[in-house]
């Protein structure tokens, strides 16, 4: 998917919501436990209920890998069902990969050509030749970890270095030379709202994938205040607060309501920033 | 597997060789192409031919994931077959994972309890809470990326920071507080031989997993010179130079010969350092 297509979808749906498909087998509604593939049934029900309110889905591969090869089959089936039924939605494989060149090429082939996702999250620690192989496939995106929303992000990402920058700033500045803003995005944790100002000085135009809004306590207002661009430039991810809005048989309806609430808040910001027209 | 058990196996086999099981479908010998699962057949043939000369196997998950869910099934079958037939060998899932707490817990459960490997490689960028969940399972190991052997390692790992250290040194110094040397090892690229001296000042006792010997040009003599400890403290990985020693029908025999050559060189170093007794 091109950057322009993504922006059009954001304007069409008046939303920059990304929904994390992180199905924890222990948290699935009891009513699904008898299904042949409870996780796949859960994903389909959540997607049907929320697709009108979001522009992207982000399955975190850990939740599927932890179920073994059958879990990976569920992941593949979820992605192919999404592509078939909701072709306009942007699909992010949250895999946080990072490996040397020939191995990274295997991952790129796996995610982009076998699993047919639009984007893969990649970790920067191993440097340019662990990222470049993901950038050779037009219409497919690398979403590089820059500043994460977890407590441990302070251990290394915030270290000041001899270049007078924090590590995550050096990651942004160096990596933006590896590809353009039509093939790279960055993960920036929402719990660090004000840091978005510094980040926008380095990458004014790149899309940011912002986790940590909702369950992890980040504020959507802060993210918009400090991170939005004339093209929106944001994908805000929410997982648990939407997909586990209810654990009863009304789980899908509750997820739809939670997604619609976020979409409406996002629409008001998009109007306020004149990215979409004022409501009649 | 405990540290003491690993050391005993090294002394028993007079080897600290780890063999990377990275089966590239395009490089498999033609004679296997008709097998129901060519990769599994390749792995079993390589393992049978090399098990006497090594103490560890390291399948790189990228090579299996790139084949989709069927590839992950092959990975699981390779590991369970190894555990059943060669229970003394240390099995490393080279996955380079790194994710926030609840996701990392899913990975830890997946690798240690579902796939039953002994160790998982983990990336440090996200900090302590992305590593800790892998340390809660006695007898199971985290092998943390510190200094990798690829060109891109210089992009971030060698950055001097305000603590007066390179990033990889800070990773070593901080992370060694997260677990003990009976549950943590470090990946240290062999192409940086002399840096092993600095690394041993920070972690004198931890085992190091050293990739990049052979195909990537690192020198085993340098690794031993600067990295060996009284307990050996080294696992030296070789992948392509052993498993692709021949692409003809004698591939297994050629792999066995290549592994035996490395084992004999390693035995001479173990004797020279009096870690094993002199030959009669």
What ipTM, to 2 d.p.? Answer: 0.92
Give B208-234 pLDDT, tens digit per residue: 999 978 655 668 999 999 999 999 999
Distances from the Cα of A67 to the Cα of A254, B84, B107, B110, B120, angstroms: 26, 21, 10, 7, 17
DSSP string, B204-265: SSS-EEE--BSTT-B-HHHHHHHH-BTTB-EEEEE-HHHHTS-SSTTHHHHHHHHHHHHHHH
Token output for B61? 């998950």
| Cβ-based contacts of B103 with chain A (< 8 Å) | 22, 60, 62-63
Report angle CA B108, B109, B110 to the nearest 5 degrees.
Answer: 90
| Residue B191 sits at the chain A interface (C-beta within 8 Å) | no
| Residue B173 sits at the chain A interface (C-beta within 8 Å) | no
**pTM of structure:** 0.94
Asked if the Cβ–Cβ distance from A127 to B145 is below 8 Å, we say: no
Give B219-276 pLDDT, tens digit per residue: 899 999 999 999 999 999 999 999 999 999 999 999 999 999 999 999 999 999 999 9
Nearest to B69 among A73, A151, A157 (CB): A73
Number of structural domains chain A divides into: 1
| Cβ-based contacts of A154 with chain B (< 8 Å) | 127
pLDDT at B69: 82
Give B101-157 pLDDT, tens digit per residue: 788 888 898 899 888 999 999 999 999 999 999 998 889 999 999 999 889 999 999
Nearest to B62 among A70, A103, A163 (CB): A103
pLDDT of residue B192 exceeding 70, the answer is no
In a domain, A279, yes or no: no
A21 beta partners: A59
Q: How many CA atoms lie within 13 A of A15 on its CB side?
A: 22
Q: Among B124, B126, B163, which would you mutate to test the A interface (most chain A Cβ atoms within 10 Å of its Cβ)?
A: B126
What span, in angstroms and rounded, lies between the C-alpha atoms of A16 and A224?
11
In a domain, B280, yes or no: no
Q: Which of A54-63, A198-207, A215-224, A235-244 is least confident?
A: A215-224
Stretch A8-28: mean pLDDT: 95
What span, in angstroms and rounded, lies between the C-alpha atoms of B258 and B252?
10
Number of H helices, E strands in chain B: 12, 8
| Residue B158 sits at the chain A interface (C-beta within 8 Å) | no
In a domain, A179, yes or no: yes
| Residue A163 sits at the chain B interface (C-beta within 8 Å) | yes
8 A C-beta contact, residue A79 and residue A59:
yes
8 A C-beta contact, residue B98 and residue A123:
yes
CA dihedral of residues A54, A56, A60, A63 (deg, nearest 10): 50
| Cβ-based contacts of A26 with chain B (< 8 Å) | none
In a domain, A277, yes or no: no
B96 is catalytic: yes
The DSSP symbol for A231 reads T
| Cβ-based contacts of B163 with chain A (< 8 Å) | 159
| Residue B69 sits at the chain A interface (C-beta within 8 Å) | yes
CATH number reported for the structural domain that contains residue A211 in this entry: 3.20.20.70
Asked if the Cβ–Cβ distance from A109 to B76 is below 8 Å, we say: no
Q: How close, in Å, is residue A92 to chain B by CA atoms?
A: 15
What span, in angstroms and rounded, lies between the C-alpha atoms of A166 and A171?
9
- Could you tell me how many CB contacts below 8 A there are between chain A and chain B? 192
**Residue A212: exposure state from Cβ atoms within 10 A (0-12, 13-18, ≥19):** buried
Closest CA to B157 of B121, B192, B128: B192
Query: Predicted confidence band at A214 (pLDDT cuts at 50, 70, 90)?
Result: low
Write down the catalytic residue from B44, B73, B83, B96. B96
Closest CA to A207 of A181, A230, A174, A225: A181
Q: Which residues span the domain enclosing A248? A: 3-272
What span, in angstroms and rounded, lies between the C-alpha atoms of A150 and A158?
12
What span, in angstroms and rounded, lies between the C-alpha atoms of B193 and B199?
10
- Alpha-carbon Rg of chain A, whole angstroms? 18
In a domain, A184, yes or no: yes
| Cβ-based contacts of A65 with chain B (< 8 Å) | 72, 106-107, 110
In a domain, A278, yes or no: no
In a domain, B201, yes or no: yes
What span, in angstroms and rounded, lies between the C-alpha atoms of A96 and B129?
15
Asked if the Cβ–Cβ distance from A129 to B152 is below 8 Å, we say: yes
Minimal-distance CA residue of chain B relative to A159? B161
Q: Which comes out higher in pLDDT, residue A6 or B99?
A: A6
Stretch B15-19: mean pLDDT: 98
| Residue A106 sits at the chain B interface (C-beta within 8 Å) | yes
CA dihedral of residues B265, B270, B272, B277 (deg, nearest 10): -120
In a domain, B277, yes or no: no
Minimal-distance CA residue of chain A relative to B101? A150
**B 12-41 near A (Cβ less than 8 A):** 22, 24
Write down the catalytic residue from A11, A73, A96, A176. A96
């Amino acid at each position: 998917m091109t950057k322009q297509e993504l922006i059009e979808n954001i304007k069409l749906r008046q939303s920059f919501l990304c929904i994390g498909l992180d199905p924890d087998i222990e948290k699935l509604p009891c009513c699904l436990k008898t299904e042949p593939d409870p996780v796949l049934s859960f994903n389909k029900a959540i997607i049907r209920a929320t697709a009108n309110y979001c522009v992207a889905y982000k399955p975190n591969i850990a939740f599927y890998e932890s179920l073994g090869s059958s879990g990976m089959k569920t992941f593949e089936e979820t992605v192919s069902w999404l592509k078939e039924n909701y072709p306009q939605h942007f699909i992010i494989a949250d895999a946080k990969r990072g490996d040397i060149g020939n191995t990274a090429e295997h991952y790129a082939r796996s995610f982009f050509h076998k699993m047919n996702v639009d984007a893969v999250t990649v970790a920067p620690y191993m440097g340019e030749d662990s990222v470049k192989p993901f950038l050779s496939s037009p219409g497919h995106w690398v979403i590089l970890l820059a500043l994460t929303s977890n407590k441990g992000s302070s251990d290394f990402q915030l270290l000041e270095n001899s270049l007078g920058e924090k590590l995550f700033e050096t990651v942004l500045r160096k990596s933006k030379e590896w590809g353009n803003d039509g093939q790279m995005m960055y993960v920036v944790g929402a719990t660090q709202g004000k840091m978005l100002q510094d980040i926008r000085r380095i990458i004014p135009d790149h899309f940011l994938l912002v986790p940590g809004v909702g369950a992890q306590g980040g504020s959507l207002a802060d993210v918009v205040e400090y991170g939005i661009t004339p093209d929106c430039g944001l994908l805000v991810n929410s997982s648990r607060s939407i997909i586990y809005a209810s654990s009863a048989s009304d789980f899908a309806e509750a997820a739809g309501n939670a997604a619609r609430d976020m979409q409406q808040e996002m629409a008001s910001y998009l109007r306020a920033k004149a990215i979409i027209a004022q409501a009649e």
